[in-house]
Structure 1
């Protein structure tokens, strides 16, 4: 069997991938609700069946996936390897305490030479520290996951996957284990190289995104989105889209990981500037637009907590600074179809509003400002007349999902703003 530590997006899909190949998987998670749900055949990962193409229930019913929050359940098992898929960030900063706890637990339940494969992103240099601290050099493998949860075609099976062993004698064994679920393995020369690759590739995505968002501020009256589209006709330039800010727990954190691990950090001025801009400056224009239309009598409605459409991931989402700024105003309400009323109220401290209530309420909600963060499909389908009937004066649209209504909004005196559209500060 294998043991997967952490049963979220990454851990849950690792478990399902191996179970689909007939491998028995034990999932350990400290969250009892997650454990109970998995053992009932439900993994609370948004759109999992669409992305994976199967339900976890079929594997639970076959006794191929068992979840537990008790370490004793993992003792005396014949374990081929451990997969670690836990968060390595906290409050938007790299954080290793959870990883240390998991490694202590692994050593407590399994003192054999079974491999320990870390799928989480690590600060460069962490592998060496882990070997020194836990004496696991003969067991340690670094193989961060690459996944794109919006496309079933880009998955664990067919995407390239880099791995690096601290002990090169394990290379062939790792190929056998990872090769069960991945067809495209790429061997790094060391564990240190493999851990660097993940942060590096994400930072190479992060820094251009920050530059694009800076362009929309530097040229607010120029349609930067069109400029970017035309620039992308050059065969070496990808298409970028301006937005409020970068979000999620991978891309915006990557430059912080690179900076934290560097022995000569002073050279990384571009990464440092990108982090500072994302942390402090990127969202300012959104606040300026809100302030232009906001008064003590009107309400603001935020559509979407998640940083990306049809996911339930709010880490470093552009929604968070907006929520923190207005949640105590008494004039702020939030909708996200992937978060319950209780989650919105208890986790984020906001008034929840259901979409049906928002657009069919018999009472005047006095919503003058709508801020759209997430490009959820359900938001894209909202009829333009419903929006107009709210009496909205200002719409700030992160992904431009209502740009198709721009002419209609103009005729109805609704001020519509999309990052990089040339109207950003008018």
Structure 2
């Protein structure tokens, strides 16, 4: 799988899918993209700075816990068209086609370091001729104007051999039916003449490609579509705060019976890679001094939400506080944006005895990431005063039965209300988040 040295035009090699493709980043986005390309017929190399990931992929193992059944690594490798390598692999860096799928966030804020490093490596390895570079990472429009040309050492407006594209991913990582092949792909390029080349690549792996006017329009699409959901979720949590005496989840279920109103549920926090970061990328991409005032207000309120959640839990707690689930999503190992992590930190700051369990993290990792003591599942349930069910991992499916069997069960604070039916009629004290039982008002100020 050496880079092409053929004088064939890039368009012809993309059309017959013989052109080698380099994918930068072996996380979920990068590895799934590499597998799709290999299955479509392209020789593909996926690069990563994590030597363990590289070794696992080359051994045929998906190195991402929880995604073994979602990423078709075995099928992609069976044809011999997929390999993994270190990020300094010279052959892969010298390829003519690149997908950039590196993280552009850290600790809840956009970061440019990984993207700059990858683009710099690609720029240094270019040996002449046409190159197609597609950015699948979430980006700020300001980066397209400033960072990308500087890192590559070339301006796509004047270097007609350089084809730059923005092709943001939007698939739901935990659903095999909502992936890069089935969901519509938005695609835009820095120059109009680059779009046909980019379409040859993406139409090989996506059933529906929507061309954007240019790569700026395509790049802003992902922050905007996630921003819609972010604002809805912030409003949902604000309603639970504003009406502590009402069953707000029931109000939202009733509102959702209207044909054009989605149904949301209050939560202990908004987690994950995309939605919590969408306002930051959207605000960063504009050149105005005070852009998007509605978004800025939502960000300020949401930033204080973990502290309010912790105060509410403390008001109803009695004894040690347990938290089930560190990952923001069920049956996956994703700590980015973890609401449980922020809750644990605020509870600990108040001096609470906090214990946390997640089957996808070791006890040592839990303490290092949150400061909480590890909770032994299910042995430690009996010694808790309050239990916060943050993430509904499959392992916790029998939680209601386990709690009901205890002589003195802890009070359960149910983040998303999934255990309500099973616990109805039991002796377990139960509080669905967003209901009066979970939102005991603070004592009035004197």
Verify same fold: TM over 0.5: yes
Match of residue 13 from structure 1: 32
Name the SS for the 2:49 alignment partner. Answer: coil
Name the SS for the 2:40 alignment partner. Answer: coil
Q: Deviations over 1:170-228 (max 9, x none)?
A: 11111110111001000101111111111111111110110011001101111221211
Match of residue 308 from structure 1: 329
**Pair 1:193 & 2:221 matched:** no
Name the SS for the 1:270 alignment partner. Answer: helix
Worse overlay, 392-401 or 300-309: 392-401
Q: Deviations over 1:348-403 (max 9, x none)?
A: 444323424346xxxxx621111111121221332424455173332211111221
Aligned pair partner of 1:220 in 244, 261, 276: 244
Q: What is the distance in 1 between the residues matched to 2:92 and 2:30?
A: 20
User: Alpha carbons of 1:351 and 1:73: their partners in 2 closer, same or farther (altered >3 Å)?
Assistant: farther
Could you tell me how far 1:115 is from its partner in structure 2? 0.8
Aligned pair partner of 1:82 in 98, 103, 110: 98
Match of residue 46 from structure 1: 65
Aligned pair partner of 1:375 in 389, 392, 398: 392
Match of residue 277 from structure 1: 301
Q: Deviations over 1:303-355 (max 9, x none)?
A: 00011212221211211212323568683221111223343244444432342
Matches within 5 A, 1:320-335: 320-326=341-347, 331-335=353-357
- Verify the 8 A CA contact 1:293 1:393 in the aligned structure 2: no
Q: How many residues align?
A: 412
Name the SS for the 2:146 alignment partner. Answer: helix
Matches within 5 A, 1:200-215: 200-215=224-239
User: Alpha carbons of 1:20 and 1:390: their partners in 2 closer, same or farther (altered >3 Å)?
Assistant: farther
- Verify the 8 A CA contact 2:328 2:337 in the aligned structure 1: yes
- Verify the 8 A CA contact 1:143 1:194 in the aligned structure 2: yes
Worse overlay, 19-28 or 379-388: 379-388
**Pair 1:124 & 2:141 matched:** yes
Name the SS for the 1:221 alignment partner. Answer: coil
Match of residue 83 from structure 2: 66
Aligned pair partner of 1:236 in 260, 267, 282: 260
- Verify the 8 A CA contact 2:324 2:390 in the aligned structure 1: yes
Q: What is the distance in 1 between the residues matched to 2:360 and 2:237?
A: 27
Q: Deviations over 1:136-162 (max 9, x none)?
A: 513211111010123222111111110
Q: What is the distance in 1 between the residues matched to 2:127 and 2:386?
A: 58
Q: Deviations over 1:242-274 (max 9, x none)?
A: 111211110011111111222225251110011
User: Alpha carbons of 1:402 and 1:68: their partners in 2 closer, same or farther (altered >3 Å)?
Assistant: same
User: Alpha carbons of 1:386 and 1:425: their partners in 2 closer, same or farther (altered >3 Å)?
Assistant: closer
Match of residue 336 from structure 1: 358
Q: What is the distance in 2 between the residues matched to 1:41 and 1:90?
A: 29
**Pair 1:288 & 2:305 matched:** no
User: Alpha carbons of 1:333 and 1:192: their partners in 2 closer, same or farther (altered >3 Å)?
Assistant: same
Q: What is the distance in 1 between the residues matched to 2:370 and 2:35?
A: 31
**Pair 1:155 & 2:172 matched:** no
Q: Given the two structures, how large is their TM-score scaled by the length of structure 1?
A: 0.90
User: Alpha carbons of 1:59 and 1:354: their partners in 2 closer, same or farther (altered >3 Å)?
Assistant: farther
Match of residue 96 from structure 1: 112
Q: Given the two structures, how large is their TM-score scaled by the length of structure 2?
A: 0.86
Q: What is the distance in 2 between the residues matched to 1:204 and 1:84?
A: 25
Q: What is the distance in 2 between the residues matched to 1:70 and 1:91?
A: 23
Task: Mark the runs of 5 or more structure 2 residues left unpaired by the alignment.
Answer: 1-19, 157-161, 441-446
